[in-house]
Amino acid sequence: MPGLRTGNDVSPELQRTASKAKQDLRVRFTSLAHLLTPDFLRASFKKLNQHGAPGPDGTTMAAFGENLDAEIDTVWHDLRAGKYRASPVRRVYIPKANGKLRPLGVPTVRDRTVQRAVAEIIGAVYEPYFKDFSHGFRPGRSTHDALESLRVTVNRTGIGWVVEADIASYFDTVNHRWLMKFLEHRIADRTLLRLVAKWLKAGFMENGVVSIGEEGTPQGGPLSPLLANIYLHYVLDLWFDHRFRPTVAGSCALVRYADDFVVCFEHRHEAERFLQELEARFAEFGLRLSAEKTRLVEFGKGSLQNGRMGPTETARSFDFLGFTHYMRKRRGARGTFEVARKPSRKSRNKFLDGVGEWVGRNRHLSVWFQAKVLQRKLVGYYNYFGLRHCLAALWHVKRHVGRLWIMALRRRSHRHSLWWHSVVRRPWFNSLPEPKLR
């Protein structure tokens, strides 16, 4: 890899790259690999989750960090000499809310470090190119930004129908050949492209057996979310914005966070046409919609002629980013409706199941230690779900957390004295934080 430098000018150079990408959306970058200096790689390691699980080689973050300078020098010299080799990721599974398992790929710490650096470079190139309705894995954007964009769209336009879409096994079906073609639209640096290709072709290791395919960018690596975002940028975002939306007579809007997206329409026939054309578009690139989770929902101001829509009328509500969205009458405004949200049943049950499992495993520990852990869990839940109209749902979750906690503590002894009328007066129980909105 000729031209690699060890100077301290990485950040200014990356800023200049980002500025150039923003000024000219048609430019292709021919020289990016020189940004992978030891200083940049070292900074990338420090930005990783320091408690991350070890990869297939068994090396932990702590062990890699103990000899960081030597490890970074070795990686840098391998990159410079063209000897860098990508290792297969370790395949692990985590349970999903529907009882199925979600596959994750855990790279080695060495690969994680280089991926984090490459992701920062590619992200600087692509960030100005992404559409404004794309919110996932982008600097300065969050799920709450996507939710706010959806709220404004529904409240300020004559939306009457919403397409709630789900891509079946998205991260496992990204086509490598198409992905590399998409990257070549903006990046002409062969060294950087070869690095990405190496990670895609490395495969995964499961029970000591390495499997290699032509599809998939396993969740778990620092680069995977960005690559998946780029893939959908070309397959979905550009197609919707430049080819489909100009053919729509009424209002329409797309809100996407990574592979989760909803599309709002004023007219039903245009929403139905969108679903048909989207299926054909996805088929060209190896993707498909999940028949069980993709549906057309009558929703918004344009669908209120059939009466008021409340949070329990599931036929006129939909889930997006952990919230159930529904229409409700605006307080103090006669005949005016607005979109409201509450934690979805799926996200609420997932949180409570996790709390119940934790208190069940740790009921033997000090009640004050348990209280500290539950405080952090509840504060995290409030921070995400504490949006307007969600206060009652937050109180509901807090009461269930208290109930699960007491039920677990009662199992410590057959002769417990943990009755509700006495427990609610104990300081450790009252230390659980009260719900509050953001």
Q: What is the pLDDT along the chain (438 residues), one digit of tens a residue?
A: 444 444 444 468 899 999 999 999 889 999 999 999 999 999 999 999 999 999 999 999 999 999 999 999 999 999 999 999 999 999 888 877 666 788 889 999 999 999 999 999 999 999 999 999 999 999 999 999 999 999 999 999 889 999 999 999 999 899 999 999 999 999 999 999 999 999 999 988 887 788 887 888 878 899 999 999 999 999 999 999 999 999 999 999 999 999 999 999 999 999 999 999 999 999 999 999 999 899 999 998 766 544 444 444 445 899 999 999 999 887 766 667 889 999 999 999 999 999 999 999 999 999 999 999 999 999 999 999 999 999 999 999 999 999 999 999 999 887 778 888 888 889 999 999 999 998
Residue whose entry in the numeric block shows the structure tokens 């992905």 = 179
Distance CA 324, CA 341 (A): 6
Strand order in the sheet with 318-320: 318-320, 323-329, 337-343
Distance CA 338, CA 361 (A): 43
Distance CA 243, CA 296 (A): 21
pLDDT of the residue at 191: 95
Assign 223 to helix, strand or coil: coil
For 74, other C-beta atoms within 10 Å of its C-beta total 12
Q: Which long-range contacts (CB under 8 A, 24 or more apart) does 200-206 make?
A: 200/176, 201/86, 201/176, 202/86, 202/87, 202/88, 202/89, 202/111, 203/88, 203/89, 204/88, 204/89, 204/90, 204/91, 204/105, 205/56, 205/88, 205/89, 205/90, 205/91, 206/90, 206/91
pTM for the model: 0.90
pLDDT of the residue at 209: 80
Residue whose entry in the numeric block shows the structure tokens 């790929």 = 105
pLDDT of the residue at 310: 46
DSSP class of residue 139 equals: T
pLDDT of the residue at 7: 42
pLDDT of the residue at 30: 95
The answer to whether residues 259 and 127 touch, using CB atoms and an 8 Å cutoff, is no
Residue whose entry in the numeric block shows the structure tokens 């509050």 = 436
Crossing angle of the two packed helices 68-81 and 109-126, in degrees rounded to 10: 60
For 103, other C-beta atoms within 10 Å of its C-beta total 18
Q: Half-sphere exposure (CA, 13 Å, Cβ side) for 3?
A: 9
pLDDT of the residue at 1: 44
* Amino acid letter, 211: S
Gyration radius of the chain's alpha carbons: 25
